[in-house]
Amino acid sequence: MLVHTDNTAAHLDAEKLIATLTTIQQQVFVYTEFYGYSQTEIADKLHIPLGSVKNLYDAGALLVIVVVILSD
């Protein structure tokens, strides 16, 4: 799991959501959303197929959305 030192309320909420993802989903999601890497860059960085990056991102983003909806 990725570890951060920022303890603002928004960051802690984001960290909880990201913690619900698998490790590889966390990597793909963080590289995309926080670092702005393209899916091609992530595929190269993680040595996985581009299609896997797309599927992992979609599944991770969907899980985050579901957790947000269920927590309201």
State the pLDDT at residue 8. 56
Distance between CA atoms of residues 59 and 64, nearest Å:
9
Greater confidence (27 vs 61) lies with 27
The answer to whether the beta carbons of residues 26 and 56 sit under 8 Å apart is no
pLDDT in tens, 29-54: 889 988 999 999 999 999 999 999 99
Q: How far apart are CA 52 and CA 55, in angstroms?
A: 5
pLDDT score recorded for residue 16:
79
Which has the higher per-residue pLDDT, 11 or 21? Answer: 21
Task: Give backbone dihedrals phi and psi of 4, rounded to 5 degrees, phi first.
Answer: -125, 160
Tell me the whole-structure pTM to 2 decimals.
Answer: 0.71
Rg (CA), the chain: 12
Cα separation, 37 vs 57, whole angstroms: 12
Average pLDDT, integer, range 17-38: 89
Pick the CATH number of 9-71 from 2.40.110.20, 3.30.830.10, 3.40.50.720, 1.10.10.10: 1.10.10.10
